[in-house]
Amino acid sequence: MTVSSPSRDVRPARGADERTLHVLDFFRILEVLAEGARSPQGRALCGTVRPFPDPEAAREALAEVEALGRLEPDMGLPPVGGLREIGPHLRTARKAGVVLGVEALLEVRDTLEACARVQEYLEDAAAEGSILGRYAGRMRPLDLLVDRFARVFGPRGEILDGASPRLAAIREELRRVRGRIRSRLEALLRERDLAPAVQDDFVTVRDGRYVVPLRTDFRGYLDGIVHDRSRTGQTFFVEPLEVVELNNRMGSLLEEEEEEIRRILAELTAWVGREAGAIAANVAVAAHLDLLAARWHLARRLGGVRPEVVEARELGLREARHPLLLLRADEPVVPVDLFVGGEEVGGARLLLITGANAGGKTVALKTAGLLVLMARSGLFVPAAEGSRVGWFDPVFADIGDEQDLDRHLSTFTGHLGRLREALEGADAGTLVLLDELGAGTDPREGGGLALAVLEALLDAGSTVIGTTHLEGLKGFAYARPDAENAAVAFDGETGRPLYRLVYGRTGRSNAFEVAERTGFPPRVLARARAYAAGGDEPGAGFLHEIERARDEALEAARRAREAEAEARRRLEEAERRLREAEAARRRAREEAWEEARAEIQRARKGLARVIRRFARREISQQEAEAQVARIERRMEAAVREAPEPAERGAPPREGEWVRIKGVGREGRVVEIKDGQALVDLGGLRVTASPAQLEPAAPSAPRPAGGGVRVQAQPRAGGEVVLVGCRVDEALRRLDRALDGAVLAGQGELKVVHGRGTGALRRAVREALDADVRVAGWRALDGDAATVAELSGR
């Protein structure tokens, strides 16, 4: 496909004029882009791609391409196969009384089915959370129309019997009549006395009527109508009189079939006309998805990345490569770093590239311009990850031969015209690309003109990338703080170009070396060197001195950066060791707290076993109290040995409710003595330091008294009301109530949780199922309460 300059029906370019798009090879990139499209609509859209008018639109397009790339491994690319160019068919279908032909309707059918597949793809993308899923809502389902097409047309485009009941009846009658005709004729052929007259033993059709072939010398042997004669003249095709009526009936049925098919097609055409707007909208979405697929296909071919589009007027392309050089694939492309306006070049808005011919100056210039246009157009660029493209508007390029014989313009006057256009449109957002500044005329006058142009562009706030051979321009770039020199690198031993840029340096033209490599006559080249000996341009020595001083400064800066990096590395190593030590202390603290929690849990279970054994009279009251005392000492030791928290609060007072940090148990402070707090945990009393305690909400009254009092006989059950509590608070209150009931020797505990949504009831019963203190439970009060039967009852 060939993509040319936009015609009248293509939206005008924004961000660059036609000449700039042409010299930067933008239209050639669009040709490559179109190769990745798989539908006529997608290919047409590829030809209309232009730089977006604002940064957000460019970022959105790039994000969509990236989103499609993430979907491809699992979902593939959008299934646009089957899309046809049906715009003319839709316009025709909207006209009253017009009937689309079968071929046109089949193209509409294929397009509808393709759109349905694309809509399913987008719905799956939405389920995956892709930003492309938003397009699913922009497509209108046309299932009824698709189903109608499926009933009318078969897979090979044939019109099915089921297209209408009348068509089915007509075709059924046709089959019956044809069968009768063939039976009559085949019976005639089998008659023994007719055998000599029959040329071939078969029945055929002429003029839509069934006939039999008779030899010419037996023409009058069979009464009938002659419809045709063979090319050799040896055979007549005769319709016997006895099948004339059946052939007439068949002809009538064929006319009825044709009339019914036309009615069906007219009905289908009218339906398509009514839905033409929705069909066109669906096709537009599918075509946009195909354009995205073409963008992604181009990105993969180029090894491209999503550039960061920034508002600043800067360019930060690392390892950039010209796309067209990459696509040739005949040899590796050397990447080049392209910086202007950013921190890499100290904010310099002029990048002046110098060096020998065939060293890559113009390629670097065109690479910078083309990649800016591609990023602005929503295309990935062949560069390294993290590359930045600033928002330049417009981009202006003067590259190549501007000679125009039709308008009697020389190369130099053509360049002057382009420079005038650049000066007239230059502002703070403009990126100007100028190749071979000052060339094409007297070097002194050309250099002066180039200096004036660069000054004017920089004064207007524009960003400029230029190439030149003139020494005066190199000095200009050194003299201005908003300018930066860059030289194309050459191999010092072979003299061959390395096709990369060395920033902060100017390059020699190396004209003699280039001429020698191209096979220039040695005698002529020697004479040229003699003529040039001692003829260095004024200021060349000064430039070399500047470069030497700059190299020394850069080396000093490099050593300073290395020292800073080493200091930073040592600091990071010290911080890492500190973090590891802190992490180890934290793990030790957590392990100690976990051990304390486990010990207290074991103590609780031991207490429950003591009470159960006492309730069953397996041990005496004295033995039970002795075991409880041992359990209290174990809990107190676990709390005492747990590490103290890093933060200390205000010391608790007697009577306050507290929680032991890390253990999760709540109780009331009974006594403060010798800097230690005696805490009653529902009958169990433990000693803890104030730093291990934190305030807790007041709880239900606990059994009073010191230590655990073991009663000889269990009492009737108590009650705890949890209605209105959140689940976590309810479970804490239930735990305290079970403690109190067990320690009080109760046989059961009534838990009032209410009906509600059932969440609290389920949580309570799950907790009772898992609690060693509970032997079982039963529902009460119509499921509004649960009675917990305590162990040992």
* DSSP string across 457-495: HHHTT-EEEEEE--HHHHHHHHH-TTEEEEEEEE-TTT-
- Asked whether the beta carbons of 350 and 466 are under 8 A apart, the reply is yes
Paired with 309 in beta bridges are 389
CATH superfamily of 308-507: P-loop containing nucleotide triphosphate hydrolases (3.40.50.300)
Return all residues near 456 (Cβ < 8 A) that are at least 6 apart.
423, 426
What is the predicted pLDDT for the residue at 324? 93
206 φ, ψ (degrees, to nearest 5): -135, 135
Mean pLDDT, contiguous 10-residue spans, the chain (793 residues): 38 68 95 96 95 94 97 94 94 94 96 95 94 94 94 94 96 94 80 61 78 69 74 75 90 94 96 96 97 97 96 94 88 91 91 82 93 97 96 89 45 76 86 85 79 91 90 83 87 72 78 70 74 56 61 76 88 86 78 70 72 73 75 68 55 79 70 81 69 67 40 55 84 82 78 85 88 85 87 57
Token pair of 712 as six digits = 């000889």
Residue 91, helix vs strand vs coil: helix
Q: In what order do the strands lie in the sheet with 336-340?
A: 308-310, 388-390, 315-320, 336-340
Burial 144-168 (b: 16+ CB within 10 A, else e): ebeebbeebbeeeeebeeebbeebe
- Asked whether the beta carbons of 469 and 482 are under 8 A apart, the reply is no
- Closest C-alpha to 486, from 619, 636, 348, 589: 348
Residue 750, helix vs strand vs coil: strand
Enter the CATH code of domain 718-790: 3.30.1370.110
CA distance 295 to 34: 9
What are the structural domain ranges in the chain? Answer: 36-142+275-302, 163-269, 308-507, 718-790
CA distance 481 to 213: 101
What is the predicted pLDDT for the residue at 13? 39
pLDDT tens-digit map of 297-309: 999 999 999 999 9
CA distance 205 to 443: 89
- Asked whether the beta carbons of 460 and 422 are under 8 A apart, the reply is no
What is the predicted pLDDT for the residue at 62? 97
- Asked whether the beta carbons of 4 and 27 are under 8 A apart, the reply is yes
Residue 247, helix vs strand vs coil: helix
CA distance 793 to 774: 10
CA distance 694 to 677: 12
End-to-end CA distance of the chain, in Å? 91
165 sits in which H/E element: helix 165-190
- Asked whether the beta carbons of 491 and 468 are under 8 A apart, the reply is no
Burial 741-780 (b: 16+ CB within 10 A, else e): bbbbbbbbbbbebbeeeeebbebbbebbeebebbbebeee
CA distance 353 to 359: 10
CA distance 124 to 103: 32
Write down the H helix ranges in 493-539. Answer: 511-517, 522-532
- Asked whether the beta carbons of 37 and 94 are under 8 A apart, the reply is no
Half-sphere exposure of 469 (CA within 13 A, CB side): 18
What is the predicted pLDDT for the residue at 543? 56
**The domain made up of 163-269 is a member of CATH 1.10.1420.10:** yes
Burial 490-508 (b: 16+ CB within 10 A, else e): beeeeeebbbbbbbebbbb
- Asked whether the beta carbons of 313 and 86 are under 8 A apart, the reply is no
Provide the residue type at 453 as one letter.
Answer: V
CA distance 160 to 168: 8
Query: What DSSP character marks residue 363?
Result: H
